[in-house]
């Protein structure tokens, strides 16, 4: 192995280490002191509840762990968006679990909390996956109520989804393990079955203080909406549990009796590990995002037996397309080739750039996968589409539009892994978040933006210096450098994979070695939802 491989390996392993450190911090939620207070009440934390509920916490993936990262600093922050979401197995059945973290502002809903809950429901709806809510929330975070309450994608959409999911036959189970207040009180009651924990769980539209202020009635919260009230008087809840574990055991018993599901029928054989060592990825992936590498070397360390059956290998070489298996599941892979390639005409094509021929190839391959009912995996390391007169005259816009059309209308499940660059329209064509991948995750090496930090900083610098010159200010080389560095630093923060994950533009930042698990569990989830409409490209330019 050469010195470049070793330098790449050191760099990428440091990124993976940073990811683990960030995750360790985020798992503390509101902090150790608040966790201690939570335990003193006889309650488990959100993560402890999920770990107890799942068959094996290792056989799970977490959605939105970095939601809210670096946001709401003026409000004390909102780690993980104040809610923990995992896809895992309960009594052998794959489910998605949503648990309010009451150590974060008593489980109050920030705007990102609502977005994350809606993402969890979206995953449940797309995959017809049973969903379990572990409720422990003080309701809307009032200082930001205008950003969480009234709009289409706000708090109220949760309950609308409850109703729609019920009509779709998607199992919904709720356990009220703490506060369940105001509008939030509808969530457990719109679920199929609801459990409430005695003495710690409560459900009411208005708490005792508000009741006193509104109608003058004096009553304590337990009498107003505790477990005994709702299990024996109102009939609002279905089961009374003595503590958190009892409630979670009840959920396990309910889930264990759910019947089998109709399957989409995606092809799966006995899983096999890659023949080539996946850990080599750390040395193959360049430290510099501008450097070239062969994406085949990455693919061969992700797929079963390191076997990649390439489609149209010699044509449109800046995109690789082909068939493989991941954990036994048949997949069609669409990946950006980051290696400088030479065409048969003797032309050089830049790696990571989408040309007309590569877009054309990808479009045809996506159609083939839809014809054969094969899930699609997009491996992104793309700087965008090729520009210039030759490309424009050759119809790059038309060919790019075909690819975007194929991605948009694909009916097989799509999964996106952002390995490196994800810039501009390349993000769209390679199935970015706007194109409904069932799951989308980024490696710590990923960058998401309209363009690279260097390019953007240069453009923004020109705009800012022109503005200052109009005001009569002198722009010395020193001033220009200071402006550039400040602009570049701001832009670099925004292209970070953690910036994207905090806003749920991606579902997670993951260790490259977890990629197979994410894709496999994603396809297993998608297998719960048979395809209901034919693939149709619609009208395209030829």
CA–CA separation, 136 and 34 (whole Å)? 14
Provide, rounded to the nearest whole percent, the portion of the chain with pLDDT above 90.
Answer: 71
pTM: 0.94
Q: Which of 330, 340, 432 is nearest to 380 (CA)?
A: 432
| Paired tokens of 324 | 């493989």
CATH 3.40.50.360 for domain 31-256, yes or no, is: no
CA 57 to chain centre: 19
CA–CA separation, 292 and 285 (whole Å)? 9
Homologous superfamily of 279-446+506-528: 2-enoyl-CoA Hydratase; Chain A, domain 1 (3.90.226.10)
Q: 18 — phi, psi (to 5°)?
A: -60, -40
Q: Tell me what the mean pLDDT of segment 152-166 comes to.
A: 92
Tens of pLDDT, residues 268-311: 999 999 999 999 999 999 999 889 999 999 999 999 999 999 99
Tens of pLDDT, residues 386-418: 887 888 877 788 989 999 999 999 999 999 999
CB atoms near residue 213 (< 10 Å): 10
Q: Do domains 31-256 and 279-446+506-528 have the same CATH topology?
A: yes
Tens of pLDDT, residues 61-109: 999 999 999 999 999 999 999 999 999 999 999 999 999 999 999 898 9
Greatest Cα pair distance in the chain: 86
Tens of pLDDT, residues 14-34: 999 999 999 999 999 999 999
Which residue ranges make up each domain of the chain? 31-256, 279-446+506-528, 451-495
């Amino acid at each position: 192995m050469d010195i470049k491989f070793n330098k790449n390996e050191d760099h990428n392993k440091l990124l993976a280490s940073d990811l683990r450190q960030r995750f360790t911090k985020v798992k503390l939620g509101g902090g150790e002191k608040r966790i201690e207070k939570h335990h003193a009440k006889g309650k488990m934390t959100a993560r402890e509840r999920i770990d107890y509920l799942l068959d094996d916490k290792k056989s799970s993936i977490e959605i939105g762990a970095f939601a809210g990262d670096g946001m709401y600093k003026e409000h004390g922050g909102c780690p993980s968006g104040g809610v923990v979401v995992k896809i895992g197995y309960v009594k052998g059945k794959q489910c998605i679990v949503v648990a309010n973290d009451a150590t974060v502002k008593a489980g109050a809903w920030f705007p990102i909390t609502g977005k994350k809950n809606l993402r969890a429901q979206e995953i449940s709806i797309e995959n017809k996956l049973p969903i379990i809510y572990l409720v422990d929330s003080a309701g809307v975070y009032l200082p930001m109520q205008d950003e969480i309450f009234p709009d289409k994608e706000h708090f109220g959409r949760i309950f609308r989804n409850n109703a729609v999911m019920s009509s779709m036959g998607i199992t919904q189970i709720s356990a009220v393990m703490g506060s369940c207040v105001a509008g939030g009180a509808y969530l457990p009651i719109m679920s199929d079955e609801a459990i409430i924990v005695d003495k710690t769980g409560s459900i009411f539209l208005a708490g005792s203080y508000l009741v006193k202020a509104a109608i003058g009635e004096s009553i304590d919260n337990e009498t107003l909406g505790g477990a005994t009230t709702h299990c024996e008087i109102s009939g609002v809840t279905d089961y009374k549990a003595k503590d958190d574990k009892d409630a979670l055991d009840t959920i396990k018993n309910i889930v264990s009796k759910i019947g089998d599901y109709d399957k989409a029928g995606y092809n799966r054989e006995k899983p096999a590990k890659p023949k080539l060592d996946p850990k080599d990825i750390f040395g193959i992936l360049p430290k510099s995002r501008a450097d070239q590498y062969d994406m085949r070397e990455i693919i061969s360390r992700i797929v079963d037996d390191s076997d990649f059956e390439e489609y149209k290998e010699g044509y449109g070489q800046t995109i690789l397309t082909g068939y493989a298996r991941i954990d036994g599941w048949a997949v069609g892979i669409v990946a950006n080739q980051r290696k400088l390639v030479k065409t048969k005409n003797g032309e050089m094509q830049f790696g990571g750039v989408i040309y007309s021929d590569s877009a054309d190839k990808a479009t045809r391959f996506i159609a083939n996968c839809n014809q054969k009912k094969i899930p699609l995996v997009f491996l992104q390391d793309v700087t965008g589409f090729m520009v210039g007169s030759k490309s424009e005259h050759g119809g790059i816009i038309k060919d790019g539009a075909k690819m975007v059309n194929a991605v948009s209308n694909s009916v097989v499940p799509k999964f996106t892994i952002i390995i490196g660059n994800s810039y501009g329209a390349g993000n769209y064509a390679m199935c970015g978040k706007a194109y409904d991948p069932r799951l989308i995750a980024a490696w710590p090496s990923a960058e998401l933006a309209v363009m690279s930090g260097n390019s953007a900083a240069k453009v923004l610098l020109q705009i800012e210096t022109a503005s200052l010159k109009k005001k009569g200010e002198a722009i010395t080389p020193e001033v220009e450098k200071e402006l550039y560095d400040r602009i570049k630093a701001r832009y670099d923060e925004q292209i970070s994979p953690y910036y994207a994950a905090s806003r749920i533009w991606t579902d997670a930042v993951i260790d490259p070695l977890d990629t197979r698990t994410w894709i496999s569990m994603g396809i297993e989830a998608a297998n719960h939802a048979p395809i209901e409409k034919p693939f149709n490209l619609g009208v395209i330019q030829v």
